[in-house]
Each structure stands twice: as C-alpha cells, then as structure tokens.
Structure 1
Amino acid sequence: MGLVIVSLLLGWLAAGTGLILLAGFGLVLLLGLLYTVFGLSWLEIERVSQLYNLPVASLRWRERNAPGFSSYIRSVGRNLGNGRMWAAFGNFVLATLLGAGMLGALRWSISAAILAFAPMSNTSSVTLEGWELSSAQAPWLIPLALAGVGVVVALVFLHRAISTAIIGTIARETELAQKAQTSSVQREGAVRAAEVERTRIECDLHDGVQPRLVSVAMALGLAHQQIDTEPQQAKELIAEAHTSTKAAITELRQLTRGIYTSVLEDRGLDAALSAVAGRSHIPVQLDIQLPKRMEKNAEAAMYFAIAEALTNAAKHSRASWCRVTVRVREFEGHPWLWARIEDNGIGGAHIQPGGGLDGIHHRVLAAGGTLHLDSPQGGPTAVEVNVPCAS
C-alpha cells in the first residue's frame, strides 16, 4: 500500500507541476497534495507513537491568524515549511521501502522453505527466483530460508530504530517546547504576582500605617510644645500617640504576616490555615487532611492562595460561612496539593487586573499550578487551586 501511495503522490506532484500554467489549475492540485501529505504525516506520527509508546503530540494544521485570503496563503506557507510534517512523511517513505524489502525477504524465505522439501514429492528439480536446483541440492535451501527470516527480523528492528529516532526527535522537540512554554508562563506569573504583591503592600502602607505614623508624629510634636505650659493636655496627647503606635504595630504585623508567616515555616500548612481561619470575620470550616509536610514552596503558594481567597470573601462576598478543603492528589504519578475554597455569598467574582484573585492566579501560576473560579451571579463561589509538590 505504501508503494502504491508514494507512486500516486509522485504522479500527483508531476500533474500539478505540469498544469500550473493551465489557468493555475495545477496550484489547486498542489494544494490538495499538501493536505494529503499532511494527513499521511499525521497518521504516521499516530501510528509510530502508538506502536512504540512514544509521547508525541499530534500534528496540528497551522491555522490562519486573521481573516482574508492573504492570511490563508500565509498559513499554507507555514504548513509547507512545517518540519514535523516532512520528518513524519520521510519516515513514512522509509517505512514503505523497508516494508517492501521485508515482504520480499519473507516471500523468499517461505518459498525456499517449501522447495527445500521437494525431494519428498519425487520432483527432479526446483526453481527459486530463476535459480534451478536439482532435488539433491534442494535441502541446501533451508539455510537460505533461515537467512530470509533473519533479514525480516533485522528489517523490523531497523524500522524500529529509524522510526523512534525520527519520531522520537519530534517528541523531544515537543517536550522541550512545552517545557519552554510552561517556564514562560511561570515566569510571567511570578513577575505579575510580585507586581500585585508590591501594589498591595504599597496600598496597605499608604492607607493604613503611614497615616497612623503621621498622627503619632503630630501628637508628639504638640505634646512637646505643651509639656511645660499644659502638662495635662500633653499627657493626653502622649497617650493618644501611644495608642496610635500600638495600632500601627498591629497593622505592620498583619502586613508582614501577609508577606510571610512563621507559623507556616514552623508548624506547617494546617496550623497556618487554622490561624488564618481564627482571624477571619466569617466563620471558616477547615477540612485539611495531609499525610505529612509537603514541599516548602508548594505549601507557601497554597497558604497565600487560601488566605487571599478568604480575605476576598470577607471583603466582597457577604457570605455567612466559608469552607476550606485541602487534600493531596495524584496526577500523572506525582503528588499535587489541591484546595477548594467555598462560600455562600452573592457570587459574581471574577479575575480583574490588580485584584486579589489576580494575585492568587499569578502566584499559583508561578508555582506551576492552576486555578479555577466558579462564581455565578447570586452565588455560591468556589475557588479550586492545584499546586505540584514533592513530599
């Protein structure tokens, strides 16, 4: 079948090339030939990847990225220069040639094995591929039959070596491209998460701690001016400054807790989330089942994602309760931290640039994880977070 297909394709190519000057009809034939080669290449990748268990991504047609005929022509050009397609098609041609050789060797081996027993039928002579032998010489065909079997086996292994080399190279290129894309997404997520975190810290400092410190400075300045003339009022100002200082210290502690928590480092995710739930204005039900301490970066990413999700729920959801579920799940043979944060609020949450969910999203991306938000109007809201980890 391969020889027939290759012969038809060569004839197709010759006809298309010869008819180009006939009102461009040959271009239509050549375009159809390109689609046919693409289909054969796709089939070859699927065949070899399934036959030898190679993790190869399917061959995809490179679609046009804009409407219009010119964009279609550019997409045809991109597909015409698709190295994966031509490598797979070359493997198809080589497999066809090897298959033809294997069938010839197999036919030779079977014929030789049958003719080797010619003396048992009282035949005076035998002929194999134009080679005439007497009945007495026929048993010498047995080694030739075994040699033919050896050629068949050798061609089978040669096909495996060549196919895995060509299609395996495509698999490695695909894997490297996927890793590069994943690294790019993680890098962008880390940069964006750092930017959102910096903006949050600036807002907290500007709107909370800074005004309190300014108030403390003003109160102490007035007390300094009045300490000799109006000592009682100066004492009141100092007391006010003392109260504002304690409030500023509390806000700074909360701010640093948002950056990093020592409880997470010392006692793990369960204890850190218990502390977050205890500070929440909304009752939080925790359901955390972890077999052991997980990888540090994964725990940190999951902690900040859950803490920020609970903060958002307290600010915007109007919920009366929240539920946090944390588990370890297996995915592709590796452990992943999985969490689901639910509330019975009004819903309608969405990821917007600079928002809390945007920060969660990019922090999870930076850790190589995923985030899924389900928040229809009217509620409820559910956030699912998956982060890869190592035990």
Structure 2
Amino acid sequence: MAIRGGAPRRTYAWITAHAPWSAWAWRNTTFTAAAIPAALPVLLGLTAIVAAPWPGALPLLLMLALGPLLTRLQRSRFRTLLDLDVLEVERKGARFTPLAVARWLRSEATWRQYGYHLLVSPLAAVAGALVVLAWAFGVAAAGVYGWFWILPADTRTPGWTGDYDAITVGGVLLLLTAPWFAALVTRLDSVAAASLLGPNRARELERRVEDLAESRAGVLDAADLERRRIERDLHDGAQQRLVALAMNLGIARATLPDLPAEAKAVIDEAHREAKEAIEELNSLVRGLHPAVLEDRGLDAALSGIAARAPFPVELTVDIGRRPGPTVEAVAYFVVSETLANVAKHARAERCRVHVVRDPAPEGPASEGPAPEEPAPDGSARGGDLLRITVSDDGVGGADPARGTGLVGLRKRVGSVDGTIMIESPLGGPTVITVELPCGL
C-alpha cells in the first residue's frame, strides 16, 4: 500500500525505523546484552571481595591487572556494535618499568577508567539483563494464546482464558517499551564511556589549544621569513635593475646631446618613470619588511616612518630588550598603518607615538604564570607587553565599521593575540592603544 503525503510518509517511516523488529531496536538490544559478559570479571571480583574480605586482596589485584584488558574490551564493544570510537588515552615512554607503572596508577585517566569498570559496567550489565528479560517475557506473554492452544486439550485450564487478554496486552507493551529502554541504556552507557574511558575533554581541549598556538606561531614565523625573502629578492634583484636602468638613461641623456628632440623626450619620460618605479618599489619593500627593522630594531624603523609623515610626529620608544621579530613586525605595521590613516582621514596637525615595553615582574612574585587581567576587548593579557599609543589632534570619528583600514589593523593585532582599543569621539582627539604580548 502506497503512503501519500509528506507528513504521513514521514510518520510511517519513523514508526518503521523504531519498531520492535527494526535494526535500531536490535542494535541497541545487542549492545546492552553484550555488557553482561564484559562485566562478568568485575562482578565476580566484587563478589569475591565482599564474600571474603581478607582473601579479597587477591581479586582486587587481579582486577587492577585486568584493567587495561577490560578497557580494550569495552572499546571494542562500542566500536563493533555502535560504530563509536572511544579515544584511547595516550601513554608516553616505556610501559612496563616500575616508574611507568607507578605513574600509570597515579594517573587521573586510569582511575576514571576503573570508575567505569567498577560502577558503570555492572550497572550496564544489570540493565542489559533487564532488557533481555523484557524481550523474553514480552514474547512469551504476547504469544500466550499460542502457548495455550499448543497444550493438549486435557491439560488446558477452563475459565483462565479471560486472564490471557491482560497477559497479552502486557506482553505487547513490553515488546514496545523494550527497544526504548535499550536505547536509553545505550545512550547513558555511551556518554559514560566517552567521559571515563576516553581522555579528559578539558585537558584534551587545553592540549589542542596549545598545539594550535604553536602551529599558529610557526605559521606567523614562516610568513615573516617569506616576507623577508621577498623583500631581499626585490631589493637585490628588481630594484637594482631599475636603478641601473635609470642610471643608463641619465647617462644617455647627458652624453647624447645631438639626438632629435623626440628621442630626448622619450629618454626623459623613460628616466622619470624609472625613478618613479624605484620609489614605488621602495615603498613596497618597506611595506613587506623594512631592512632597517631587522638590522637596527624598532626604534630606527619607526624613526624612518615618523620622518616621512606629512606632519610633525613626536616619537618616544622605550623598549629595552627587543621583542621577537614577529611582534616587532606587527608593531611596525601598526604604527605605519595608523599614521597612514591619520594622514588620509584625520586632518591632524601633529601626532604622538609612544612605544613602551612593560616587562613581567621579577623576583618571587614572578614565579609561575604571570597574572592576567582583562583587556579592553575582553581577552586576557599577560605581564610582558609591548604597548603602542598613537594619538592625534584631528577631527576624530574613526569607526572600524566604516572602513577597512582599522579592520585590517585589528586583524593584524589579533594574529599575535594582541588587543586594540580605539577612542575617537567626534571632534577628536583620536587615541589608539595597542598591546602586543612579547612572549610570542
């Protein structure tokens, strides 16, 4: 019979998928029933310990020794019957030395696994036995009329057939509820196994965060090295060729006075364009990675930016020990981009740039991780910071939502876990404060 219509068809499909004869019901029933043999060693050990307290030390030692085997058995049960992989806790180094065994016994992951074997596994076995009994009694009770007619006629009990109706209804209800009880047990067992047999989720997240931080630092370093390589290739290759071309054109213009006017005009135009190309290439090279930043540090590089600004810039740099090259590069581009934005939009007459490094506190107070305090944007910051403050007397009104300059600045600062705070009321002044962690 064809089922037409969207809702009736979905209802029929759902009922079929969750019926007592469905694959879903038998998979959950098989899984819960498999918990019974997996828990037998634990149940026998607990019985021996309770029955004989003093000799029970031997069963306890056997249970401790069988712990890894029971863990593998339970993982195999989840993987084979549910297609669920319970992650294994990684163990580094040797496994069978006394020190490794002592470390394993002290491990939090080990005792979480024993918590599953001693508490969850017996309860799952009891629930599995209840599921099996529910199926058995349901089948027997639902088919009570069949059993009645199978019996010889002289052994049938007259008058009892009225009670068979209630027994049949009870058996049908058992058959309908047994799959759902098995599904509930399966769900609870899966959650407990993921929490107790696998690695600690909080520590696993911490480890993944550390790995991601290390990989991101490697990517930033690789990108910085690539920028330096491109800058060096442009400076030593294309830029030198352009300089040589401009010199040859200048020599040709000076040593060939008898050329026609049209040829002189072409040489003059080519000479001017070559010099403009050199200037553009110089700007591009400085934008990639200025050589002075690597050779002489942040103070000299920022002095060059301040000298090229179209307005007076008061620069103060007090950083002491140089931070890492990646942090230096981000600080350089922060100041460069900020001054460029001031020149384009702020209509400022002067600007002030203050760069200072706040070292982590020394002495006994600096032992352990540096105390953290919330940054202006809500992120955490440590004690060793490179703080950059750029202020101008312009018209204000800087809004990251209305332009890509400040958005790009925020992204560049965020790439090294830095923070940025922008104060720019209408009418000015504008103050941009950037804090970069020097530990990167």
TM-score range, shorter-chain basis?
0.3 to 0.5
> How does the TM-score come out when normalised to structure 1?
0.44
> How does the TM-score come out when normalised to structure 2?
0.39
